[in-house]
Amino acid sequence: MGEYSKALSSYERSLEIRKIALPPNHPDLASSYNNIAVVYYNMGEYLKALSSYERSLEIKKIALPPNHPDLAGSYNNIGLVYYNMGEYSKALPSHEQSLEIQKIALPPNHPDLAGSYNNIGNVYGNMGEYSKALSSYERSLEIQKIALPPNHPNLAYPYNGIGMVYDSMGEYSKALSSYERSLEIRKIALPPNHPDLATSYNNIGNVYNHMGEYSKALSSYERSLEIRKIALPPNHPDLAASYNNIGSVYGNMGEYSKALSSYERSLEIRKIALPPNHPDLAASYLNISLVYSNTGQYSKALSSHERSLEIRKIALPPNHLDLAYSYSGIGS
C-alpha cells in the first residue's frame, strides 16, 4: 500500500509541473493522467481511475491522429475499469473501439491485439455469452503463441479465460487443465506474491469447489488470500472475492458460522470498494441469504435475497441466468 501512495505522490507532482510548463493538450499531460489512473486502478479505486483515464483520453483525442495506438490504450483502460465495476455494457464498446484502432494501427499478430481479444472475452464471459467468450480467448491465444515466448506472463491470460468459460459451462476437467497451464506460466514468469498468481489459485479453487472437492478448494482459496493480503490494499475487491469463496466452501461443508463470517467480511469490503449496484454485491447478499436459509433464519434469508434481486435487476441484462436463480430462490 505504501508503494501505491508513493507512486501517486510522484505522478501528481509530475502532473503539477507539466501543467505549468506545457500547453494544455500536450501528450505528456495525457501520460500523467494515465499514470495516476493506473495507480488508482491497482488500488481498486475505480471511479478515480475512470476520471483520470477519461481526462487522458480527452487530451489524446486532440493531440494524436485518430488511429494512434495510444488512443486504443486509453479505450482499453476505460473498458477495464467498467469491467471491474460490473458495467459490462459500457466495457464492451470501449474494448471494441480499442480493437478497431489496433487492427488499423498494428501488425496482425501484435500482442496488444491479443490483449483486446482477451478483454472482450472477459466481458462476454461475465455476460453469460460463453461461445463468444471462448472464441475471443482462443483468438487471443493464437496471436500470443505467435508473438510471445512460450512462458511469457501474458500467455497466462487467455488460458485463464478459457478455464473460466469451461468452468461456467460445467466442463471441469477442461477448466482445471487450462487454469493449471495458466498457473505454470505465472510461477515461472512472475514474483511469488504477484496478484496474478492469487488469481490462478483462486480459479483453481473455484473448479475444485464446483467438483465437490472442498479440502482442495479451501487450500487453493487460502493460498490465494495469503498472496492478496501481501500484494493488495486492505479493501481491494479481490480480497472480498477470496473471503466470499472461502465462505462458499464452508457453506458447502455445512460449517455455517464460518461461512457467514467469511461472507460478511467479503460484503464489508465490497460495500467500500464497489459501486452500490455492482453484481458482486448481489452475490454477497445472496450467499448470506443461503446461510440464513440453511440455519432456519428465514426472515433474514428473505431480506438478503430480496436485496440481491434488487441489485441484479439494475446491474444485469433482463435475461441473465443469475436473475432466474434469484426469482427461483425467492419463490422457494
Sorting pLDDT into bands at 50, 70 and 90, what band is 117? very high
236 close to 49: Cβ distance less than 8 angstroms: no
Q: Kindly list the distances between the CA atom of residue 19 and the CA atoms of 23, 28, 38, 83, 225, in Å, as whole numbers in the listed order.
A: 7, 10, 19, 31, 41
Residue 315 forms part of a structural domain: no
Q: Tell me what pLDDT residue 1 has.
A: 47
**Confidence bin at 323 (pLDDT 50/70/90):** confident
Count of positions (residues) in the chain:
332
* pLDDT over 70 (residue 331): no
pLDDT digits (tens, 9 = 90+) for 166-189: 999 999 999 999 999 999 999 999
| 2 has a pLDDT exceeding 70 | no
Domain count within the chain: 1
Please report the pLDDT score of residue 277 as a whole number. 87
Return the DSSP state at 190.
S
The answer to whether residues 101 and 75 touch, using CB atoms and an 8 Å cutoff, is yes
Q: Say if 229 falls within a structural domain.
A: no
What does pTM read for this prediction?
0.81
Domain that holds residue 34: 1-106
In a domain, 72, yes or no: yes
Mean pLDDT of 25-42: 95
Say if residue 103's pLDDT is above 90. Answer: yes
Domain membership of residue 286 (yes or no) is no
Residue 60 lies in a domain: yes
**Lookup: cell for 56:** 487522458
Q: Is residue 80 part of a domain?
A: yes
> Is the separation of the CB atoms in 33 and 74 below 8 Å?
no
| Alpha-helical segments (H) within 106-171 | 111-126, 130-147, 156-168
Mean pLDDT (whole number) for 107-120: 96
Percentage with pLDDT > 90 across the chain? 87
Whether residue 1 is contained in a domain is answered as yes
Inside any domain, residue 96: yes
Other residues' Cβ atoms within 10 Å of the Cβ of residue 331: 6
User: Could you tell me the CATH number of the domain that includes residue 4?
Assistant: 1.25.40.10
Alpha helices (H) in the chain, listed in sequence order:
2-21, 27-42, 46-63, 69-84, 88-105, 111-126, 130-147, 156-168, 172-189, 195-210, 214-231, 237-252, 256-273, 279-294, 298-315, 321-331
| Secondary structure letter of residue 85 according to DSSP | T
Reported as a single tens digit per residue, the pLDDT across 137-147 is 999 999 999 99
